[in-house]
């Protein structure tokens, strides 16, 4: 399916059907990341049960150096 | 002790995490600074570079309180969203409200800052707004429930030091919440002056990360902030136009 991740169209395998699986796919599951799905912030504990559908807008953010 | 909301800190130095030459220097700078509060920004991740190291992963998070900022926000709405993203990490509930209104001076937009701060207080955040040194705005920010006020000494990253000590002093005198001088600090003496004026803390980043030797500067800032605070608590002497002798004028064995 095709998702819009951080503003870019990205195709991912159909079997990556939840947010947790998506993070695993990109090897981000051990990182401190925050996910927003279709403009709604997703709590960490809901990542494994939240299903993705074609065209979903996903934001994946993290902490970077800043003042 | 520096008390901000439900938190208590023994260090009065808040350190930014931007623009260090490398993680090693940064880690050592953080350690010698003895800071307990580190600021961060929230940004999109490059998902194709999962192996890219992140400074946060190098820290013992039990030792530090994270203070994410809302840098990048131009409106209250954007700031609130960034704050909520930061909080969803489960690592922090403090937020530095930073709503920039002018890209050249990086001065904060006062109206949007106030709106964002008010909203974030209602949402249960510990709110520390970065603001200009406007005295009345500082009061308004306190009135909407901010847990600390963070007026700038001079523009972000400018290293110009304290441009308007009078306004900072007015803000410190009127505030019932901590006042942290944020932005513009260039040298240890700038930080010491902020503390001597009565600041409860100093937030700085570039002054350390951009120094020729950031680790040494981190130590210098720590000492300057401690010295300034002690000086403030000790209470300075009155200024006099003419000299006043330190040695006794009586009992001289001359004449």
Q: How far apart are CA A4 and CA A24, in angstroms?
A: 17
Looking at chain A, the whole-number percentage of residues with pLDDT higher than 70 is 100
Question: pTM for the complete prediction?
Answer: 0.93
Q: How confident is the model at residue A34 (pLDDT cuts 50, 70, 90)?
A: very high
Residues of B with Cβ-Cβ distance to A7 under 8 angstroms:
44
Q: Which listed residue (B3, B62, B63, B96) is catalytic?
A: B96
Q: Please write the tens of the pLDDT for every residue from B220-231.
A: 999 999 999 999
Residues of chain B contacting A36 with CB distance shorter than 8 Å: 85
Mean per-residue pLDDT of chain B: 96
Angstrom distance (rounded) from CA B167 to CA B152: 10
pLDDT of residue A52: 94
What percent of chain B is modeled with pLDDT above 90? 91
Contact call for residues B52 and B23 (beta carbons, < 8 A): no
- Based on the residue annotation, tell me whether B96 is a catalytic residue of this protein: yes
Q: Beta-carbon neighbour count of residue B167 at 10 Å?
A: 16
Buried b (16+ CB within 10 A) or exposed e, A41-56: ebeeeebeebebeeeb
For residue B42, list chain A residues with Cβ-Cβ distance below 8 A: 34, 61-64
Share of residues in chain A with pLDDT > 90 (%): 82
- Quick: pLDDT tens for B67-121: 999 999 999 999 999 999 999 999 999 999 999 999 999 999 999 999 999 999 9
| CB B55 within 8 Å of CB B24 | no
List chain A domain ranges: 2-62
Residues of A in contact with B86 (CB under 8 A): 34, 63
Lowest mean pLDDT among A14-18, B107-111, B208-212: A14-18
Question: Checking phi first, is residue B100 left (phi over 0); if not, alpha (psi -120 to 50) or beta?
Answer: beta
Interface residue of B88, B91, B153, B159 to substitute, partner A, most A CBs within 10 Å: B88
Cα distance between residue B203 and residue B251, in whole Å: 51
Measured between alpha carbons, how far is B228 from B202 in angstroms, rounded to an integer?
A: 11
Q: What pLDDT is attached to residue B91? A: 92
Which tokens sit at A40? 């709604």
Q: Do A6 and B69 touch (CB under 8 A)?
A: no
- Using the beta-carbon criterion (under 8 Å), do A34 and B205 form an inter-chain contact? no
The packing angle between helices B110-122 and B76-87, to 10°, is: 40
The pLDDT confidence band at residue B249, using thresholds 50, 70 and 90, is confident
Out of A34-38, B2-6, B91-95, B249-253, which region has the weakest mean confidence (pLDDT)? B249-253
pLDDT value of residue A61: 95
Q: Look at residue B57 and tell me whether its pLDDT is greater than 90.
A: no
In this prediction the ipTM stands at 0.92
CATH of domain A2-62: 3.10.20.30
Taking residue B156's Cβ as centre, other Cβ atoms within 10 Å add up to 22
Using the Cβ of A60 and the Cβ atoms of chain B, whether some distance falls under 8 Å is answered with yes
With contact defined as beta carbons under 8 Å apart, do B78 and B95 qualify? no
| A26 shares contact with chain B (CB less than 8 Å) | yes
Determine the distance from the C-alpha atom of residue B119 to the mean position of all C-alpha atoms in its chain, rounded to a whole number.
22
Instruction: Suggest the residue from B45, B67, B78 to mutate for an interface test with chain A (most A CBs closer than 10 A).
Output: B45
Phi-psi region of B122 (alpha: psi -120 to 50; beta: other; left: phi over 0): alpha
Tens of pLDDT, residue by residue over B6-28, are 999 999 999 999 999 999 999 99
Q: How far is CA B32 from CA B29, B207, B226, in A?
A: 5, 15, 13
pLDDT of residue B49: 85
Per-residue pLDDT at A5: 95
């Amino acid at each position: 399916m095709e998702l819009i991740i951080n503003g870019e169209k990205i195709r991912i395998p159909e079997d990556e059907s939840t947010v947790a699986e998506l993070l695993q796919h990109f090897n981000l599951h051990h990182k401190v990341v925050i996910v927003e799905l279709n403009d709604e912030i997703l709590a960490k504990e809901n990542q494994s049960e939240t299903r993705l559908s074609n065209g979903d807008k996903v934001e994946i953010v993290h902490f970077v150096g800043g003042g | 002790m520096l008390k901000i909301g439900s938190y208590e800190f023994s260090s009065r130095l808040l350190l930014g995490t931007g623009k260090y030459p490398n993680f090693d220097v940064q880690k050592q700078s953080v350690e010698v600074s003895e800071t307990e509060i580190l600021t961060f920004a929230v940004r999109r991740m490059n998902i194709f570079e999962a192996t890219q190291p992140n400074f946060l992963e190098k820290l013992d998070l039990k030792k530090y309180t994270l203070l994410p900022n809302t840098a990048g926000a131009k409106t209250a709405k954007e700031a609130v969203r960034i704050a909520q993203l930061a909080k969803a990490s489960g690592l922090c509930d403090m937020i530095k409200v930073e709503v920039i209104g002018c890209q050249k001076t990086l001065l904060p937009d006062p109206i949007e800052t106030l709106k964002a701060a008010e909203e974030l207080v209602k949402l249960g955040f510990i709110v520390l707004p970065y603001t200009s040194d406007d005295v009345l705005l500082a009061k308004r920010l306190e009135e909407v429930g901010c847990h600390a006020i963070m007026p700038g000494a001079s523009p972000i990253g400018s290293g110009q030091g304290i441009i308007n000590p009078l306004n900072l002093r007015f803000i410190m005198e009127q505030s019932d919440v901590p006042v942290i001088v944020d932005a513009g600090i260039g040298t240890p003496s700038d930080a010491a002056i902020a503390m001597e004026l009565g600041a409860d803390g100093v937030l700085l980043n570039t002054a350390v990360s951009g120094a020729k030797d950031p680790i040494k500067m981190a130590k210098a800032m720590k000492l300057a902030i401690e010295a300034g605070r002690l000086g403030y608590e000790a209470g300075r002497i009155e200024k006099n136009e003419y000299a006043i002798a330190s040695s006794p004028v009586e009992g001289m064995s001359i004449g």
